[in-house]
Amino acid sequence: MHHEALPDAQAELDLQREGEPLRHPLTVVQPDEAKTILNKVDSPDLPFKWTLNPYRGCEHGCVYCYARPGHEYLSLSCGLDFETKLFAKHDAPQLLRKALAKESWEGEPIVLSGVTDPYQPIEEELRITRACLEVCLELRQPVCVITKSRRVTRDLDVLSALAKLNLVHVAISVTTLDHSLASIMEPRASSPASRVDAIHKLAQAGVPTMVMVAPVIPAINDHEVPAILKRCRVAGARAAGTVLLRLPHQLKELFLQWLRTHFPDRAAKVESQIRDTRDGELYTSGWFERGRGSGALADQLRSTFEVFARRNGLDKRLPPLNRTLFALRKGESVLPSPPAAASGAPSVMGRAQLGLFATP
């Protein structure tokens, strides 16, 4: 075990009695009194329309997480507060059931989570994500899961049942295969080996699974892209996607501080290459460009990914999800037995297939 105190935690640690072992600041979970649970996505560069986030904040502590600045809307910091002051939507399953009961709902795919990880450590106890998946299974609602946690395999029973009805995709984020790098970049996320094993177990259970090589950070993990794709293909991944490092708002300074602390010998080089992919800036937020960057280096990174995705047979999208089984209409409270999936069922991407950031 290795302990490092972030600056905003040091004051608390300094108050401890001399000789008392250092401890990580406690995680505090508060109820989130959300009145609705589905978030409509209007971004033209994202291949999905609806997301569901069971939690705000994330214990994984990934230094690069683009969701960090969102905690400042709660008058909390995007640093330590984001990792230790969490909000749980305990009523998410009930709110989801209510949303799916609306006459206007058409069974479009829902992505868990889109912002913070639905299988972060507190899910072990709270089981909110599992309860939402159980609602989706009962109502035959198409769903996609994005996570970097091995905990997703806990719910193989529900996920495999959804998969048999062609109602689920899972995307596992694998940023690095280097455990040393992962331990400082994603300190409380599942290890790289555990994530690859999760891909294998999901594939063995018949759950369509893709690998997300994201984020790609120049001069930090970009050289690992070919190895990650090969390892995950062997494990059973059927598709792959990628996203370039994103540093919105105050995340820029947090990331640069981390970079100077852990990679002082190449911090300047990394920063320079990030700027090379962002027209001299640390981040550009334009549609489509925000996940891909621009310029020669960004094109090279993207081309490398595409070449090795194709070489490993991961350049295709996952099979379309099935919307024809969603039968909750006009106040029906009990679903009939699901009919056999019709051949040529409509695609959910735009409407039925979700190829999360997959190659074009």
Highest mean pLDDT among 181-185, 331-335, 355-359: 181-185
Number of folded domains in the chain? 1
Is 249 contained in some domain?
A: yes
The span from the CA of 52 to the CA of 165, in Å, is 21
Q: What is the rounded average pLDDT of the residues 309-326?
A: 94
The residue among 156 and 354 whose pLDDT is bigger is 156
**CA angle in degrees (0–180, nearest 5) for 27-33-35:** 145
Residue 352 has pLDDT above 70, yes or no: no
Is 331 contained in some domain?
A: no
The span from the CA of 62 to the CA of 83, in Å, is 9
Is 125 contained in some domain?
A: yes
Is 107 contained in some domain?
A: yes
- Residue-wise pLDDT for 236-267, tens only, equals 999 999 999 999 999 999 999 999 999 999 99
Q: What is the rounded average pLDDT of the residues 271-289?
A: 96
The span from the CA of 160 to the CA of 31, in Å, is 30
Is 264 contained in some domain?
A: yes
Beta pairing, strands 50-52 & 239-244: unpaired
Contacts of 148 (CB under 8 A, 6+ apart): 60, 62, 117, 172, 173, 174, 175, 186, 189, 190, 195
Report the candidate in 128, 224, 119 with the shortest Cα–Cα distance to residue 177. Answer: 224
Using CA atoms of 235, 236, 238, 243 in order, give the dihedral in degrees to the nearest 10: -30
CATH classification of the domain holding 149: 3.80.30.30
Q: State the residue range of the domain holding 92.
A: 28-311
The span from the CA of 226 to the CA of 240, in Å, is 12
Q: What is the predicted pLDDT for the residue at 327?
A: 59
Structure tokens, 283: 């981040």
What are the φ/ψ torsions at residue 120 (nearest 5 degrees)?
-65, 165
Residue 50 has pLDDT above 80, yes or no: yes
- Residue-wise pLDDT for 59-87, tens only, equals 999 999 999 999 999 999 999 999 999 99
Q: Are 112 and 143 in contact (CB under 8 A)?
A: yes
Is 41 contained in some domain?
A: yes
Report the candidate in 143, 142, 140, 148 with the shortest Cα–Cα distance to residue 171. Answer: 148
Contacts of 254 (CB under 8 A, 6+ apart): 63, 68, 78, 79
Is 12 contained in some domain?
A: no
Question: How many CB atoms neighbour CB 328 within 10 A?
Answer: 20
Q: How confident is residue 328, by pLDDT bands cut at 50, 70 and 90?
A: very low
CA of 94: how far to CAs of 55, 115, 127, in Å? 15, 20, 13
What are the φ/ψ torsions at residue 231 (nearest 5 degrees)?
-60, -40
Average pLDDT value over all residues in the chain: 87
Q: What is the rounded average pLDDT of the residues 279-307?
A: 97
Burial 112-131 (b: 16+ CB within 10 A, else e): bbbbbbbbbbbbeebbbbbb
Alpha-helix residue ranges (DSSP H) falling in the chain? 7-14, 80-84, 92-100, 123-126, 128-139, 156-164, 179-185, 192-204, 225-235, 251-262, 267-276, 289-292, 296-311
Is 213 contained in some domain?
A: yes
